[in-house]
Amino acid sequence: MVLSVNDVTVTIDRPRRTAVHPVRGVSLSLKAGETLALVGESGCGKSMTCLALAGLLPNRAAIASGTLVLDGTDLGTLSPRDARDLRRRKMASVFQDATGGLNPVRSIGWQVAQAVRMRGGATRHAAQQEAVRLLGRVGLPDPERRAREFPHQFSGGMNQRAMIALAIAGNPKLLIADEATTALDVTLQAQILELIADLRRALGMGVLFVTHDLGLVAQHADSVAVMYAGRIVERASTDSLFANPRHPYTQGLLAALPDAMGASARLASIDGTVPPIDALPAGCAFAPRCVRASAICTSTVPDTVRGLACHHPGPRVRPAVPAMQKEYS
Ligand SMILES: Nc1ncnc2c1ncn2[C@@H]1O[C@H](COP(=O)(O)OP(=O)(O)OP(=O)(O)O)[C@@H](O)[C@H]1O
């Protein structure tokens, strides 16, 4: 396993108020070469999960319990410094707002070359050449010249591409991409996802990606974890999740997909909203929005059994949305 996340809870301390838990008992695993998509509505805890894995939680937020095993090493057994080093060597992350991840006083090429050297141990010259090649691969025109430029000379989209080059430089074992390509135009987004897929296949990189786009999930992910109010409510292979979602929340998300045939672009969003994390209902957090909720749902949090956390899992009641075909294997 490239990554095992076991029962991880993230706590945010709040001055003079009770702490909140944006991530609650999350378990995930990722094999080499596998792509796992993390999906769910806004505010479900996807970004907090990624930040926890990447060691980038904001102030006052921390992993309160659970374990993270990265490429065979339990990060909890390491000193903070060693944990940071291990993460730096083995994993890379790209978030939607890229600019914060770049150093303003170093050229783009220098930064990518540094990442190549840090992970791969290449010579300086080879790392510089590799940096130019990577900048070309993420779609930067004239990469040799662009490599000498600084982040402020780049547009937002170009910086996003530079961040992706930086992330995949030196072949990390694990790539965490949190809405990493959302800001890019559709063609470039497709190119970058293809590039990531190439690297995944060629180098056995594990990819955890967060997206709101279920079409991308169908095309690029091997498996899917559906998150709701800080918990994983359903985990399954992409094929089985799209063909036979079992959790009412997953069924709601899939029903919100426009008809794959384009016949009706019905966006039937799920009634209600995600509860705020400081006012979660007792029992299953989805119960107030759930068509199948019964008394037990409002009193008892469901255990996760074979990847499903639901008291009443079952086939969907709505008409089926045609399963989307995977474009890449
Ligand atoms: N610093 C903070 N203090 C308190 N609560 C926070 C803080 N940061 C985030 N949250 C809360 O944590 C929860 C999870 O947020 P998170 O950003 O992980 O969701 P998300 O699923 O990634 O949403 P999106 O798709 O919009 O990025 C939300 O309810 C959010 O309001």
- Report if residue 243 sits inside a domain: no
- Which of the two residues, 193 and 256, has the higher pLDDT score? 193
pLDDT at 272 exceeding the cut of 60: yes
pLDDT at residue 323, as a whole number: 45
Confidence of residue 194 (pLDDT cuts 50, 70, 90): confident
Mean pLDDT of 154-170: 87
pLDDT at 324 exceeding the cut of 50: no
- Report if residue 207 sits inside a domain: yes
Q: Measured between alpha carbons, how far apart are the two ends of the chain, in Å?
A: 20
Q: What is the dihedral of CA 83, 63, 296, 277, to 10 degrees?
A: -130
Which residues form ligand 1's pocket by a CB distance below 6 Å?
A: 12, 20, 22, 40, 42-48, 58, 277
CA of 43 to the centre of ligand 1 (A): 5
- Report if residue 7 sits inside a domain: yes
Number of domain units in the chain: 1
CATH number of the domain that residue 36 is part of? 3.40.50.300
173 burial via Cβ count (<10 Å: 0-12, 13-18, 19+): buried
- Report if residue 326 sits inside a domain: no
CA of 47 to the centre of ligand 1 (A): 7
Mean pLDDT of 32-44: 94
pLDDT at residue 259, as a whole number: 53
- Alpha-carbon gap, residue 23 to 47, rounded angstroms: 10
Mean pLDDT of 253-262: 64
- Alpha-carbon gap, residue 200 to 207, rounded angstroms: 7
Confidence of residue 260 (pLDDT cuts 50, 70, 90): very low
Q: Do 26 and 18 touch, CB atoms closer than 8 A?
A: no
- Report if residue 324 sits inside a domain: no
Mean pLDDT of 197-201: 85
Please give the residue range of the domain that contains residue 209: 3-226
The backbone torsions φ and ψ at residue 81, rounded to the nearest 5 degrees and listed phi first, read -70, -45
pLDDT at 315 exceeding the cut of 90: no
Confidence of residue 329 (pLDDT cuts 50, 70, 90): very low
- Alpha-carbon gap, residue 49 to 26, rounded angstroms: 8
The pick from 13, 24, 46 for probing ligand 1's pocket by mutation, whose C-beta has the most ligand atoms within 8 angstroms, reads 46
CA of 22 to the centre of ligand 1 (A): 7
Angle, CA 268 vertex, CA 267 and CA 270 arms, to 5°: 130
**Which residues have C-beta within 8 Å of that of residue 175, sequence separation ≥ 6?**
91, 92, 93, 94, 167, 168, 196, 199, 200, 205, 206, 207, 208, 209
pLDDT at 37 exceeding the cut of 70: yes
- Report if residue 313 sits inside a domain: no
pLDDT at 265 exceeding the cut of 50: no
Give percent of the chain above pLDDT 90. 65
Q: Which residue has the tokens 């008291």?
A: 311
Mean pLDDT of 148-159: 90
What confidence tens digit (pLDDT) does each residue in 53-92 have? 999 999 999 999 999 999 999 999 999 999 999 999 999 9
- Report if residue 279 sits inside a domain: no
- Report if residue 53 sits inside a domain: yes
pLDDT at residue 267, as a whole number: 43
Mean pLDDT of 116-142: 90
Q: Which residue has the tokens 């996760």?
A: 304
Q: What is the mean pLDDT of the chain?
A: 88
